[in-house]
Amino acid sequence: MISLGQAHETELTLEQAGATRYFWTRLAQDLELAKAVVALVMKFIVIVVDYGHSLKDAIVDCDFDWVNSDITDEHFPAEEDEQGKKENKFRLFHFNRVIQDGDEAIREMDKEGCRPATVRELLAFARVNPEFQRQFPIIALKSVWVGRDGARMVAALFGPSGKRSLHLSYFDRRWRVSCRFLGVSK
C-alpha cells in the first residue's frame, strides 16, 4: 500500500502531464483501463546496477529483515558480463498460472525479449523497490547455485507478514500463481 503522500505526489505529477478530472473518473470506474495503465507503467523499470558491489554489501543496502546465509559471492559468483555499473530495463513477469519449473518461466520471458535476472540484479531491484516483495514473491532465475542436497537453488524475495526477506528456492519446483519473475530486457 502506498502512503497518502506518495498518492498525492503521483496525482500532482499526472496532473502536470495532462491528467484531467475526466482521466481520474475513467480510471476510477474502469478496472480494465486501470489494469492497462498499470501494465504500461510497469512494463519496464530502469535501474542502474553496480555489479562491483559484493553480494554482502548489496544485501546490507537492501535492509532485509532476514537473509539466507547461503546467498554469498562464493555460491553466486558474478556472471562474466557483470562488471562496473550498467543501466538495465527490468520487467516483472506474472503469468497468472502455475509455472511448472524455472525453465518454463525462462522460455516465457524469452518470448518477450527478456532474460531472467541475476541475484545482483534482484538485489538492485529490491533496493529501489522495497515494497513490491510485500505484495508477491519475486524470483531471479539466472543465478543458480547447486545446494548441498544437489538441487538447483535461486534467490527469491519474499514479504510474509510485512517482513522483507531474501530466500533460496528450488529452481525445479512448481511456482505458485502469485509468483513474479524478474526479467531484464536483452
- Within 8 A by CB and 6+ apart from 105, the residues are 93, 95, 99, 116, 139, 141, 175, 181
- Nearest 5°: the CA angle 40, 158, 48 is 50
pTM: predicted TM-score of the whole model, two decimal places: 0.80
Please count the structural domains in the chain.
2
**Across the strands, what pairs with 170?**
153
Same domain, 22 and 49: no
Residue 18's domain comprises: 4-42
**Average pLDDT value for residue range 44-70:** 94
Same domain, 132 and 172: yes
Same domain, 22 and 88: no
Domain with residue 103: its CATH number is 3.10.100
Same domain, 177 and 145: yes
Phi, psi of 108 (to 5 degrees): -65, -40
Is the pLDDT at 38 greater than 80, yes or no? no
Same domain, 30 and 74: no
Same domain, 55 and 126: yes
Query: Residue 42's pLDDT band (boundaries 50, 70, 90)?
Result: low
Same domain, 35 and 53: no
